[in-house]
């Protein structure tokens, strides 16, 4: 019998079990990895109460002490890099090379948070006019209150840290609720946090049912909701959150645009990787590519060749890029979307089939002749699917990229300065990535979207502003 990970919920400084268990399986083999306790109503109430009570203690911690907690977490995680990489790969189906990258990014993310904690401040306010003359004014920033962080399956460590780090950085208690598909990583992280000197109740990590998660969303003692996941769930939670400040990161169907001046081979190689990595289960995975007609055929030839060279298979193979999708239902969903699009006139240029139904692996797929009426265009595929379409010129490419309810990030491949400037001024997204894929990210940058892609920004410094309120101080000179 394979060894199971032993995990418990972390509530008010204790590791606690519960009578009902959620089974979590290895996504390629189907082996049982862990049985996760499903928090009871009383345990959820204890988490909320302890968060509210610890706020009065934690907000008094100095920046040095808060940074020290983050430094302790960094050092402990660094000592356990391989363990966490293995867990992330197993429960999420993530290729091991990319799981290792997630842990490496998590360490960098914590380092960024340490710097932000020590440098975080208000600002001087200009007052030397009207009846403000002779006065000095500045703002101080104070934590708004306890934070509720709801995290997704695709980056079970690093996206949780995007909520945990800024909360610790400003002295705000945080409750973290992981996704049911991949909760083990975050529950094991609690074992490291327990060793960092956090005050009791400052961090609670628990898995709960949707009903009890909704109870936390609605509870007025929690002052901020930070959610990462689907737009359908995110907007519903926002409607239930009452007076909370709500931050939503909800993905998209990212577009890339290639013009005549681009390095076509480089663009094709990067975009293939950015389309199929982690089975396309990344919120800024490339889903739509628009190529100006003069270089369309050349790009398509190169892109299909790169697609054919993309390795699919078991996540622990270091050369695999495209491994298991998160569930069998998602595998069947994307296969249905592809074949529905074909019935509506789309053409499969490569892939378009299930490679391994037992392991939930879908073939890297290229479609063309698609339209905005198709789900494969209009919705977030979250799968190894990309649409490649011809446009008459760069501006038409920008127009097509904007023809969506999402707006997270977009990539352009161009060495034409006028096109770069046009893109930065007209693309309706939270980030424009020039000569790289929409999926480019480092964890300190202000990351987030517009339209149905969400509200607010991640990145330690930017989230710390969202987790705090300014207090104006005005003094006579």
Query: Is 389 marked active-site?
Result: no
| Interatomic CA distance for residues 367 and 381, integer angstroms | 13
Positive/negative CA dihedral, 439, 227, 198, 44: negative
Of the listed 53, 283, 380, 458, which one is catalytic? 283
Distances (CA, A) of 81 to 6, 61, 70, 76, 160: 18, 28, 16, 9, 16
Query: Is 283 marked active-site?
Result: yes
Of the listed 53, 91, 102, 249, which one is catalytic? 249
| Interatomic CA distance for residues 49 and 43, integer angstroms | 10
Catalytic residues: 249, 283
């Amino acid at each position: 019998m394979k060894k199971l990970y032993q995990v418990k919920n972390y509530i008010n400084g204790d590791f606690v079990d519960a009578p009902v268990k959620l089974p979590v399986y290895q996504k390629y083999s189907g082996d049982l990895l862990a049985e996760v306790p499903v928090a009871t109503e009383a345990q959820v109430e204890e988490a909320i109460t302890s968060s509210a009570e610890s706020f009065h203690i934690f907000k008094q911690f100095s920046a040095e002490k808060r940074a020290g907690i983050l430094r302790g977490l960094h050092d402990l995680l660094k000592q356990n890099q391989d363990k966490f990489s293995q867990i992330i790969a197993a429960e999420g189906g993530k290729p091991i090379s990319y799981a290792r990258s997630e842990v490496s990014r998590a360490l960098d993310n914590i380092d960024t948070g340490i710097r932000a904690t020590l440098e975080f401040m208000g600002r001087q306010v200009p007052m030397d006019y009207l009846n403000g003359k002779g006065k000095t004014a500045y703002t101080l920033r104070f934590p708004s209150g306890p934070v509720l962080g709801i995290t997704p399956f695709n980056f079970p460590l690093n996206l949780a840290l995007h909520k945990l780090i800024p909360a610790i950085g400003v002295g705000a208690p945080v409750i973290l609720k992981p996704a049911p598909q991949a909760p083990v990583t975050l529950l094991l992280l609690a074992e490291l946090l327990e060793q960092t000197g956090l005050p009791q109740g400052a961090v609670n990590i628990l898995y709960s049912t949707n009903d009890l998660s909704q109870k936390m969303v609605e509870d007025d003692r929690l002052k901020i909701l930070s959610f990462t996941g689907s737009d359908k769930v995110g907007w519903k939670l926002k409607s239930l959150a009452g007076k909370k400040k709500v931050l939503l990161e909800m993905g998209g169907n990212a577009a890339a645009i290639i013009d005549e001046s681009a390095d076509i081979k480089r663009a094709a190689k990067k975009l293939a990787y950015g389309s199929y990595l982690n089975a396309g289960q990344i919120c800024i995975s490339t889903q739509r590519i628009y190529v100006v007609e003069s270089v369309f055929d050349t790009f398509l030839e190169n892109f299909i060749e790169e697609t054919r060279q993309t390795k699919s298979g078991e996540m622990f193979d270091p050369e695999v890029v495209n491994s298991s999708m998160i569930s069998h239902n998602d595998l069947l969903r994307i296969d249905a979307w592809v074949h529905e699009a074909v019935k509506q006139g789309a053409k499969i240029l490569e892939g378009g089939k299930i490679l391994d139904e037992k392991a939930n692996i879908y073939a890297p797929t290229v479609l063309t002749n698609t339209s905005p009426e198709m789900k494969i265009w209009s919705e977030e595929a979250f799968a190894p699917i990309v649409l490649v379409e011809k446009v008459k010129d760069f501006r038409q490419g920008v127009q097509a990229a904007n023809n969506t309810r999402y707006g997270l990030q977009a990539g352009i491949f161009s060495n034409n300065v006028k096109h770069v400037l046009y893109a930065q001024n007209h693309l309706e997204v939270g980030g424009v990535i020039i000569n790289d894929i929409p999926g480019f990210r480092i964890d300190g940058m202000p990351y987030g979207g517009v339209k149905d892609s969400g509200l607010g920004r991640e990145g330690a410094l930017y989230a710390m502003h969202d987790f705090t309120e300014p207090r104006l101080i005005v003094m006579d000179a």
